[in-house]
Amino acid sequence: DIQMTQSPSSLSASVGDRVTITCRASQDISKYLAWFQQKPGKAPKSLIYAASSLQSGVPGKFSGSGSGTEFSLTISSLQPEDFATYYCLQYRSYPPTFGQGTRLEIE
Protein backbone atom coordinates (compact mmCIF):
# COMPACT_ATOMS: atom_id res chain seq x y z
CA ASP A 1 0.00 0.00 0.00
CA ILE A 2 1.10 3.58 -0.63
CA GLN A 3 1.76 5.48 2.59
CA MET A 4 0.95 9.18 2.84
CA THR A 5 2.94 11.19 5.36
CA GLN A 6 1.31 14.52 6.10
CA SER A 7 2.93 17.35 8.05
CA PRO A 8 2.57 19.09 10.31
CA SER A 9 -0.01 17.21 12.35
CA SER A 10 -1.12 20.50 13.86
CA LEU A 11 -0.54 24.11 13.02
CA SER A 12 -1.35 27.36 14.80
CA ALA A 13 -1.83 30.48 12.73
CA SER A 14 -3.51 33.87 12.84
CA VAL A 15 -6.23 35.42 10.72
CA GLY A 16 -4.60 36.82 7.60
CA ASP A 17 -1.67 34.38 7.63
CA ARG A 18 -0.63 32.13 4.78
CA VAL A 19 0.05 28.48 5.63
CA THR A 20 1.34 25.44 3.79
CA ILE A 21 0.64 21.77 4.53
CA THR A 22 2.69 19.05 2.89
CA CYS A 23 2.12 15.42 1.98
CA ARG A 24 4.72 12.91 0.94
CA ALA A 25 3.87 9.67 -0.83
CA SER A 26 5.89 6.52 -0.28
CA GLN A 27 6.08 6.04 -4.06
CA ASP A 28 5.41 7.99 -7.25
CA ILE A 29 1.70 8.80 -7.53
CA SER A 30 2.00 11.28 -10.42
CA LYS A 31 -0.79 13.81 -9.81
CA TYR A 32 -3.32 11.43 -8.24
CA LEU A 33 -3.64 13.54 -5.12
CA ALA A 34 -6.62 15.26 -3.52
CA TRP A 35 -7.04 17.59 -0.56
CA PHE A 36 -10.04 17.74 1.76
CA GLN A 37 -11.21 20.09 4.50
CA GLN A 38 -13.20 18.80 7.45
CA LYS A 39 -14.89 20.84 10.14
CA PRO A 40 -16.09 19.35 13.44
CA GLY A 41 -19.23 17.28 13.06
CA LYS A 42 -19.25 17.65 9.27
CA ALA A 43 -18.34 15.45 6.32
CA PRO A 44 -15.08 16.11 4.49
CA LYS A 45 -15.25 18.62 1.65
CA SER A 46 -13.22 18.33 -1.53
CA LEU A 47 -10.89 21.28 -2.15
CA ILE A 48 -8.32 20.13 -4.69
CA TYR A 49 -8.16 17.20 -7.11
CA ALA A 50 -5.43 16.06 -9.49
CA ALA A 51 -2.88 17.72 -7.19
CA SER A 52 -3.54 21.28 -8.34
CA SER A 53 -7.07 21.60 -9.76
CA LEU A 54 -9.44 23.68 -7.69
CA GLN A 55 -12.80 22.08 -7.01
CA SER A 56 -15.81 24.00 -8.29
CA GLY A 57 -17.00 26.57 -5.77
CA VAL A 58 -13.82 26.51 -3.70
CA PRO A 59 -12.23 29.96 -3.27
CA GLY A 60 -8.95 30.68 -4.98
CA LYS A 61 -7.20 31.21 -1.66
CA PHE A 62 -6.68 27.44 -1.69
CA SER A 63 -4.01 26.13 -4.02
CA GLY A 64 -2.31 22.79 -4.50
CA SER A 65 0.97 21.87 -6.08
CA GLY A 66 3.32 18.97 -6.59
CA SER A 67 3.64 15.71 -8.45
CA GLY A 68 5.41 12.43 -7.96
CA THR A 69 5.94 12.10 -4.22
CA GLU A 70 5.87 15.66 -2.84
CA PHE A 71 2.72 17.73 -2.58
CA SER A 72 1.53 20.83 -0.80
CA LEU A 73 -1.66 22.70 0.01
CA THR A 74 -1.37 26.43 0.56
CA ILE A 75 -4.07 28.57 2.13
CA SER A 76 -3.63 32.30 1.85
CA SER A 77 -5.19 35.07 3.89
CA LEU A 78 -6.63 32.80 6.57
CA GLN A 79 -10.14 33.58 7.72
CA PRO A 80 -11.94 32.17 10.78
CA GLU A 81 -13.87 29.70 8.60
CA ASP A 82 -10.62 28.16 7.35
CA PHE A 83 -9.66 26.75 10.74
CA ALA A 84 -10.37 23.06 10.32
CA THR A 85 -8.62 19.74 9.72
CA TYR A 86 -7.11 19.07 6.31
CA TYR A 87 -6.39 15.68 4.74
CA CYS A 88 -4.51 14.60 1.65
CA LEU A 89 -5.48 11.45 -0.24
CA GLN A 90 -3.66 9.44 -2.88
CA TYR A 91 -5.76 7.65 -5.45
CA ARG A 92 -3.06 6.34 -7.78
CA SER A 93 -3.88 2.77 -6.78
CA TYR A 94 -6.10 0.78 -4.46
CA PRO A 95 -6.32 1.07 -1.58
CA PRO A 96 -6.63 4.84 -1.67
CA THR A 97 -4.86 6.16 1.41
CA PHE A 98 -5.25 9.34 3.44
CA GLY A 99 -2.67 11.36 5.26
CA GLN A 100 -3.00 11.54 9.04
CA GLY A 101 -4.53 15.01 8.87
CA THR A 102 -3.42 18.51 9.83
CA ARG A 103 -5.38 20.39 12.45
CA LEU A 104 -5.25 24.10 11.70
CA GLU A 105 -5.95 26.14 14.82
CA ILE A 106 -6.27 29.83 15.58
CA GLU A 107 -3.20 31.19 17.31
Q: Contact residues for another protein (CB under 8 A)?
A: 32, 34, 36, 38, 42-46, 49-50, 53, 55, 87, 89, 91, 94-101
Output the smallest distance, CB 12 to another protein, in A: 19
Output the smallest distance, CB 84 to another protein, in A: 13
Identify the three-state secondary structure at position 38: strand
Q: How many Cα atoms within 13 Å fall on the side-chain side of residue 23?
A: 34
Cβ proximity to another protein: between 15 and 50 the closer is 50
Contacting residues for 94 by C-beta, under 8 A, at least 6 apart: none
For residues 37 and 46, give the distance between their C-alpha atoms in angstroms, rounded to a whole number.
Answer: 7
Cβ proximity to another protein: between 55 and 65 the closer is 55
Cβ proximity to another protein: between 32 and 71 the closer is 32
List, in sequence order, every beta strand (DSSP E) within 39-83.
45-49, 53-54, 62-67, 70-75
Output the smallest distance, CB 76 to another protein, in A: 23
Cβ proximity to another protein: between 16 and 95 the closer is 95
